Every structure is written in C-alpha cells, then in structure tokens.
Structure 1
Amino acid sequence: MSNLVLLRHGESTANAEDVFAGWLDVPLTARGRAEARRAAAELAGLAPDAVHTSVLSRAVETARLLVEEARWPLSPSAYWRLNERHYGALQGLAKADARARFGEAEVQSWRRGIDGRPPKTDDAALSAQRADPRYAAYPEAAAISAESLADVAVRMAPYWRHILAPELRRGRTVVVVSHGNALRALMHLSTGVPLEEATQRELRTAAPVAVRAQLDPRMENV
C-alpha cells in the first residue's frame, strides 16, 4: 500500500456559477481559497515528498495555498495530464443552458457516461488552446477538442505509469491536487476499481481523500 492523497481544487468561479469549466482557466473564489486553507489544516500532520497539480489556475492556486499554509518545504509540480476533462463546446456554458440546448438526458450521459463525448470546441477556442504556452511542448494536449470520461483515463494513464506509480513504489508520499473527473480517472488507474464505479464517486471541493494505491505492475496497465 502507498501514501497517496487526492484533493479536488477549492471552489472556482465556474463552480459557484454552475458553469462547465473544463480546460477554461477560471480562478478560485474567496470561498475556494478558504477551502484550500482548511484542507491545509486537515493535512498539517502529513509530510509529503511531492505535490502534483494540473496546469489550470484553480488547481495551481489550491496547491500553492496548501503548501504555504501547511508549511511544506517543497514546490508543486504541474502536469497537463492532470487537467480537468475537456468539455468541448460546453466549456463556458451554464449547465442549465446546456440542458435546455441539448436535452437533460444527453447532458447527463456526457457528464456521467463513460464513452459519451460532448460536441467539439469551436475553431477559435482550439486555436487559442494551441497558442497557449502551457501546451506548446505537448502537441497531443494542444489538439484535444473534447473528451469522454474514457478519454480522460487514457490521457492520464502515462502520468500514472511513468510519474506517479514510480514515486509511490519508492515509498514517497504524494498529494495530487486536480479536478473531479481527473481524480475519478486516477482512482480507477491507481486502485483498479472499474471506471464505471469510479465515475459515480462524488468529490467535494478541497476535501482530502486518502487512496490505497495498488502497486502491482499489472495495475499500471488498467
């Protein structure tokens, strides 16, 4: 068993407004920053060897506050593969408006189904994503225009196999600050729980979850 703690970022402006954020770079709210500080107090007795985060501001800021408030002598490392699911054309759209436009059942299948992929983002948004310096060295990231939950698990598998699992195998304690769908995919990859089951897991903002990762090499190919 290993020392792995998963933390969804604090409340963002998109959470507060009930908007699909995906890869949009929305900030934390004042409540989200307070949530990050409370998470730091909960984890104050932990001595992690590393903190990993996505490249999106709401996760980066949560990780920064966590490290500062808990006084951990380390700097978070950011990985694009820890980004939230790319919601394509839904990004920036209020969830109520999405349901009105596409239908309740369709939107729900995109949100909680495994293979449902929302409509792709438009050309202007994709061009801006390709020009983003955070993705300049990763053409596979720059080209993503929409993802299903299964796509997220595939996208995150190299992070699990080549970065996180080797650290845990060395006995290191790692805190991963990321996003709801990304963390559900990571639960699947790190424990072997079926993706369909992991998808149903509710993750509150800035609420630490300890995970017993299975480090059998066979699990790294889930």
Structure 2
Amino acid sequence: MLKLVLLRHGQSEWNLENRFTGWTDVDLSEEGVKQAKHAGELLKKEGYSFDIGFTSLLKRSIKTLHYVLEEMDLLWIPEEKSWRLNERFYGALQGLNKEETIAKYGAEQVHKWRRDPHEHPPAVDRKDPRFPGNDPRYKGLTERELPLTENLSETMERVLPFWTETIMQAVRNHKKAIICAHGNSLRALIQYIDHLTDEEVTMLDIPLGIPWVYELDEDFNRIRHYYLE
C-alpha cells in the first residue's frame, strides 16, 4: 500500500479578507501559521515521516510546508517547487472581494466562475500587473503556459503532468511524500485520483491546513482517504 499526504496551505491574508487570490503571492495570516504548525504536530503525533515535499511557487504554500516540516524536524528533506501546483489563475478576479463581486455579478455567476470546471473568470491582458508573464519566477514558461484566465479543467491539465512525471515516480520509488498546494490545484488532482465527475468535483471542499491522507494500491487506485484532525 502506498501513502500520500495532501495539504492545502493554511489561511492566507486574502483568505481572511475574503478576496480572490489565484497566483497573487499572498502571505499566511497569523491563523494560517497556527494551522500549518498544528498540521505538523498532528502528522508527527500520528507517526508520519516524509522523504520529499512538493509545493507550488507561492509563499503561502511554501511556508505551510516549511512550518509542517519544522514541527516534524524534517526541514532537511528535499523539496520540489513547481508552478504546476500553483492555485488556479483567477484572472481579473484576483484581488477582488468575493462578497462585492457577488453583489456586482450575482451569486450564480460567481459560483460558476469558482466551481464550474469549464467556466472562465474574466481575463487579464498582458499589460496587467497581475499577468504572470511580468513575474520573474515564471520567466521559463512558454506563452501558451502563461494564463490570462483559467478554468478548473485547465488547472487539471497543468497539474497532471507534474503528478504523473514527478510525484508518482517518487512514490513508486518508495518515497514518502507530502504535497502542499492550493484548493483548486488539489481539487484537480483529487478529481483525477478519485475519478470524480464534473458535478462531484464542484461539490468538493478542501479545508485549510488539514492533512488529507490517501492510501493507494500499486496502480495508484484509491483504497481509502481520510483527514487527520
């Protein structure tokens, strides 16, 4: 049996302010730091250990991983960062307050932008400071890989190559792995692992800072999954 731990980052400053975040590099809130440390304490208490960590290029995810590993005395293990584990790119919604956006566009439309796998939020243009092509951490990406907006299906398309080519290979080589990422990048990954329909993934909610353990067979089919709380 193979084990894999998925962890959504702790509360960020924009989670606290109820704003769309996407690829905006927002830090953890004070509560988010507590959540990350608590996740590390839980994992240590339950006897977990890791050989490698995977995370995004965004500090709320990176710091969550580091707080977890520090609590487990595992800061020394290798970690691999990838833009493919970044949160979904929310386009022109990034930075907007969610309640104000609902008041402007209506709850139904905002719900579609957030959860419909095929619905695109309004796009940014390439001159917008939110466009990732203006950020040096993405200088190696092709024009096609730099999003102006992104739906959940497109998030899955960029997450899956990292899953199949990197994470699965590490787990096959008997490395105990933790993936610390974001609500929508993890949602895309879980949809693939659990063979969820579009309707099912729309209903999937992933809490902040709570370790989600997956037990898998040798073919990476789910045996069971559960939260550590």
Instruction: State the alpha-carbon separation in 1 of the partners of residues 137 and 36 from structure 2.
Output: 24
Match in the other structure for 2:157? 154
Q: What SS does the aligned partner of 1:7 have?
A: strand
Note if contact 2:11-2:208 (Cα within 8 Å) is conserved in structure 1. yes
Q: TM-score, normalised by structure 2?
A: 0.88
Change (3 A) 1:215 1:130: farther
Instruction: State the alpha-carbon separation in 2 of the partners of residues 167 and 141 from structure 1.
Output: 28
Q: What SS does the aligned partner of 1:177 have?
A: strand
Match in the other structure for 1:28? 28
Instruction: State the alpha-carbon separation in 1 of the partners of residues 144 and 68 from structure 2.
Output: 27
**1:38 to 2:41 alignment:** no
Note if contact 2:121-2:151 (Cα within 8 Å) is conserved in structure 1. yes
Instruction: State the alpha-carbon separation in 1 of the partners of residues 133 and 30 from structure 2.
Output: 30
Name the Cα RMSD after superposition. Answer: 2.1
Q: TM-score, normalised by structure 1?
A: 0.91
Match in the other structure for 2:107? 104
* Correspondence 1:1-222 to 2 at 5 A: 1-44=1-44, 45-72=47-74, 73-125=76-128, 129-140=132-143, 143-213=146-216, 216=219
Note if contact 1:3-1:172 (Cα within 8 Å) is conserved in structure 2. no
Instruction: State the alpha-carbon separation in 1 of the partners of residues 213 and 221 from structure 2.
Output: 22
Mark the runs of 5 or more structure 2 residues left unpaired by the alignment.
223-229
Mark the runs of 5 or more structure 1 residues left unpaired by the alignment.
none
Instruction: State the alpha-carbon separation in 1 of the partners of residues 220 and 68 from structure 2.
Output: 31
Deviates more, 1:33-42 or 1:73-82: 73-82
Instruction: State the alpha-carbon separation in 1 of the partners of residues 20 and 3 from structure 2.
Output: 32
Note if contact 1:185-1:195 (Cα within 8 Å) is conserved in structure 2. no
Instruction: State the alpha-carbon separation in 2 of the partners of residues 55 and 150 from structure 1.
Output: 20
The Cα shift of 1:139 comes to 1.9
Query: AA paired with 1:152?
Result: T
- 4+ residue stretches of structure 1 with deviation over 4 A? none
Q: What SS does the aligned partner of 2:128 have?
A: helix
Q: Greater helix share, 1 or 2?
A: 1
Overall identity of the aligned pairs, in %: 35
The Cα shift of 1:200 comes to 1.8
Deviates more, 1:119-128 or 1:45-54: 119-128
Query: Paired residues, what number?
Result: 219
Note if contact 1:190-1:214 (Cα within 8 Å) is conserved in structure 2. no
Deviations 1:10-29 (A, max 9, x none): 00011000000000010001
